[in-house]
Each structure stands twice: as structure tokens, then as C-alpha cells.
Amino acid sequence: IIQAEINNRSYGMFGFSREATGYGDNPFSTSDGSYLLVAEYGRQILDGNAIIRINPFFRHIDERDDTSSTNDTASDNFGLAASIEYTVCDELTVYARAGFGAKQELGNAFDFSCGANVKLIPSRENDFLGVALGVFKGTSSADEPTANNREFVAEAMYSFQVNDYFKIVPHIQYIANPAYDADNSDAVLMGVQGVFSF
């Protein structure tokens, strides 16, 4: 990832990532294997109380099977995402994000999420409760009817700052229609992250 400050209100970023590379493959080669190119432009608006971000991307998916010469296919996808984050006051930040991919068969066709971070305890400035809702639109085909091609996610987390260098973040997610498969039961995921900062 390369990131540069354009001016005191905006920045630009460009990133490159290899996906599913084999042992001994050149990580910088784009002639074989899958890769992702992504960019980001961010700008502060509303006197610095909000920031907008725009993310175009290009993804090349190599579906070759080295053991068979009959499956030498590759697919390309591109898309765009945009988000806005707004600090309403010291205790509340809200955000929203939307994105789309040109080819549904290579991933989400569209997604939208929104949420908020709330500081519940004034004396603990670095602690906050985060809540979010998201909807993801997947493929539509004869095998996957339109009625089942939405996945819904609700998430809650709490960031607890233990000291200047360490915080604990427990979280819980509820996922309805996971993987766009109506035969799957809804899922609940729970976890705890430990984050060190130096």
C-alpha cells in the first residue's frame, strides 16, 4: 500500500494484493494467479467533522486448474465503493457505506451498511459502543433465486481501552441468510479481539 497526503484535507492511496498464490510464485507477477488493485481518495468536509472516502477496485480471478487443461479460465471484476463518516458530537459518530461490483458471479453485486459509535461513559474517552447493520446482495440465477440473494448482518461491539497500549474489543454478529443460502440456518458469531498499539 502506498498512501500520500495531497493537502491538509485530503489524501490518496493505492494498494496491490495477490490472492491464492502458489508456493514459489512471484508475488509481484500479474501473469498468473489472482490479484486485486484498489485505490482510495479521502477528503475532510464540513469543517473537518466529516470525511468521505471513494474506493474504486479491479479484481482478476484466475480459475485455472493446474491438474487439468480443460479449466483454464479467468474472470475480471471491477466496482466502486463510497463511504461517509460524520462526527455529530464528541460522544457520537455515524457512518454509512455503499458499494457495487460489476459482475455478480464474482462476489457481492451490491452492499450497504450503516452504523454508529457511541461513547457511553464520559470519563472514559477512548471507550465506545459500536453498532452496525448491513445488507449484501449476491448472485441471482436459476440455482439461487432472487428471493434468497440477500444476506443481512447486525453487529455490536465494545472497545475497552485497558491502557495506552492495549484495548479489548468483544463483539457479536447476527447473520440472516448466510452465504445467500436459504437452507442455511441463521448464524450468531461471537469473539474478542486484543489490539496492541505502539
- Tell me the pLDDT band of 74, cut-offs 50, 70 and 90: low
pLDDT (0 to 100) of residue 115: 97
Confidence check: pLDDT of 88 > 80: yes
pLDDT (0 to 100) of residue 142: 47
| Cα–Cα dist 5/103, whole Å | 32
| Contact between residue 50 and residue 43 where contact means Cβ atoms under 8 Å apart | no
- Tell me the pLDDT band of 161, cut-offs 50, 70 and 90: very high
**The cell 493505492 sits on which residue?**
14
167 or 102, greater pLDDT = 167
Other CB atoms within 10 Å distance of the CB of residue 79: 21
| Cα–Cα dist 114/88, whole Å | 15
